[in-house]
């Protein structure tokens, strides 16, 4: 398999009543990102919600490979995550970074079951793939009435 590094999965707990540092303590998981509302920029109130995020770090274009990495890190904390998620939003974001092709997206049943257990939604952020091509299109002078043209898929 040719590794294209097109995909990452980001598991997020957003806008919870429990601060991100407390989530880390409860779950014994070191997050990829943990921010309290307003921590980045108090004047602009950024971020506008508490964020606790765990991102996959492997190089693969298979959702199942990324899920296995996250599963190993999340394993054993699903009950705590379920309780925390009830106070805010739990979300899996499958982010497609771009490239010459969009790989098939197959969500493993075990990932779906975990998402269902903790009450997480699963979103697929495919616009990353489209915006990947915009700078090159702009440099080539491709324009439309509302801005740069998007390639037809």
Mean pLDDT of the chain: 79
Report whether pLDDT(119) > 90. yes
User: What pLDDT is recorded for position 3?
Assistant: 44
User: What pLDDT is recorded for position 136?
Assistant: 53
Q: What is the C-alpha to C-alpha distance for residues 11 and 140, in angstroms, rounded to an integer?
A: 37
Report whether pLDDT(96) > 60. yes
- Nearest 5°: CA angle at 78, between 97 and 17? 85
Preceding omega of 47 cis (within 30 degrees of 0): yes
User: What pLDDT is recorded for position 10?
Assistant: 93
pTM of the model: 0.75
Question: Who contacts 124 (Cβ-Cβ below 8 Å, separation ≥6)?
Answer: 93, 94, 96, 105
User: What pLDDT is recorded for position 50?
Assistant: 84
> Which phi and psi (to 5°) does residue 16 adopt?
-85, 160
Report whether pLDDT(141) > 70. no
Q: Using the 8-state DSSP alphabet, how is residue 92 labeled?
A: E
Using CA atoms, how far residue 49 sits from 36, 66, 86, 116, in Å, is 7, 26, 15, 23
């Amino acid at each position: 398999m040719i590794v294209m590094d097109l995909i990452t999965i980001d598991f997020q707990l957003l806008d919870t009543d429990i601060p991100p540092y407390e989530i880390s303590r409860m779950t014994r998981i070191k997050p990829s990102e943990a921010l309290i509302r307003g921590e980045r920029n108090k004047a602009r109130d950024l971020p506008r919600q508490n964020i606790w995020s765990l991102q996959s770090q492997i190089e693969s274009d298979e959702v199942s490979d990324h899920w296995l990495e996250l599963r190993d890190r999340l394993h054993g904390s699903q009950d705590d995550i379920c309780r925390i998620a009830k106070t805010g939003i739990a979300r899996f974001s499958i982010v497609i970074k771009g490239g010459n092709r969009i790989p098939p997206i197959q969500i493993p049943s075990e990932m779906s079951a975990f998402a269902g257990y903790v009450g997480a939604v699963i979103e697929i952020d495919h616009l990353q793939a489209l915006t990947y091509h915009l700078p090159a299109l702009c440099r080539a002078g491709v324009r439309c009435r509302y801005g740069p043209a998007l390639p037809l898929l």
